[in-house]
Structure 1
Amino acid sequence: MLIQLTYASRTARILGPADIKDILGASQRNNARADITGALCLNHGIFLQQLEGDRAAVNALYHRLLKDTRHRDTAVLDFGEIPHRRFTSWSMGLLTSLDTNRQLFLKYSSSADFDPYSMSTSTLRSFFDEVMQNVRWLE
């Protein structure tokens, strides 16, 4: 069964460019081995990630993330069965708070700060639909 899980977490410490590069590289390697695809957004200390794949593989990855000391306040925001993958081109893409992406983050946030914790399921889905179409991804 193919599922999609969306979660948010806060960074436990300030992450520098090297940390982000390491996270992205490890995610790409590990996710490719587990046949998981997805996207990771990082904006002002908040991770928002959407994962796709076999239920057991995604569940195992999420439980590893819960133990990762770089994350705190982890919460599942959306979970469900999907008919097909949307992130077929990469094992993990990264969307950061580049100036070109800032308006998109704010468009879907209920405040001046990006806060996926307060986003409804339909807003989260619309956000990821739009980011797939219109933003600059780091791969």
Structure 2
Amino acid sequence: MLVRLVYASRAVDPSPDAIEAILAESRSHNPASGITGILCYGGGIFLQAIEGGRSAVNRLYSHILHDARHRQIELLVYEEICERRFGGWTMGQANLAKINHSILLKYSEKPELDPYAMSGKVALALLEELMATASIIGRA
């Protein structure tokens, strides 16, 4: 059974090296677990979608909950799915500092990433638009 999980968190260390370390770890471990997804970050905030088998996604989320690189972790969406939306990425990335801010403004009150003020449905729609507008990089 496939599931999708979307969560938000704040980076303890928002430096480019710390972000790259998280992405590198994801890209090296996720394929063996059948995990796909995307990571969006901006202003020290992560918005991540993870897809895969229920047990694998649950294990990964448990790991994230105990990962000292994240704080204020909030679950936005957890749902059973028929197919993956982000299946082309072991962990795609979107750096919001490099995209058109009108995309963010379409989904939030201000042109900045604040998934804590979004519903899970809106956060997922934002991720889908970032994918559709080729704002996601790192296809594996």
- TM-score w.r.t. the length of structure 2 is 0.90
Q: Which runs of 5+ in 2 are unaligned?
A: none
Distance 1:34 1:82, change over 3 A: same
Alignment of 1:42-61 (within 5 A): 42-61=41-60
Report the Cα distance in structure 2 between the residues aligned to 1:51 and 1:30, rounded to whole angstroms.
13
Identity of aligned residues (%): 41
For residues 86-107 of structure 1, the C-alpha deviation after alignment (integer angstroms, 9 at most, x for no partner) is 1121210011123324332232
Question: Quick check: 2:10–2:72 contact (8 Å CA) kept in 1?
Answer: yes
Matching residue of 1:121 = 120
Report the Cα distance in structure 2 between the residues aligned to 1:99 and 1:106, rounded to whole angstroms.
15
Matching residue of 1:10 = 10
Distance 1:43 1:33, change over 3 A: same
Report the Cα distance in structure 1 between the residues aligned to 2:43 and 2:20, rounded to whole angstroms.
16
Report the Cα distance in structure 1 between the residues aligned to 2:67 and 2:120, rounded to whole angstroms.
25
How many residues align? The count is 138
For residues 61-91 of structure 1, the C-alpha deviation after alignment (integer angstroms, 9 at most, x for no partner) is 0000011111000010011001101112121
Cα distance, 1:128 vs structure 2: 2.0
Report the Cα distance in structure 2 between the residues aligned to 1:106 and 1:116, rounded to whole angstroms.
12
Report the Cα distance in structure 2 between the residues aligned to 1:84 and 1:101, rounded to whole angstroms.
29
Q: Name the aligned partner's letter for residue 91 of structure 2.
A: M
Deviates more, 1:128-137 or 1:82-91: 128-137
Cα distance, 1:33 vs structure 2: 1.3
- TM-score w.r.t. the length of structure 1 is 0.91
Cα distance, 1:119 vs structure 2: 0.7
TM-align CA RMSD = 1.4
Q: Name the aligned partner's letter for residue 125 of structure 2.
A: S
Question: Quick check: 2:101–2:112 contact (8 Å CA) kept in 1?
Answer: no
Distance 1:136 1:26, change over 3 A: same
Report the Cα distance in structure 1 between the residues aligned to 2:92 and 2:30, rounded to whole angstroms.
11
Report the Cα distance in structure 2 between the residues aligned to 1:57 and 1:78, rounded to whole angstroms.
16
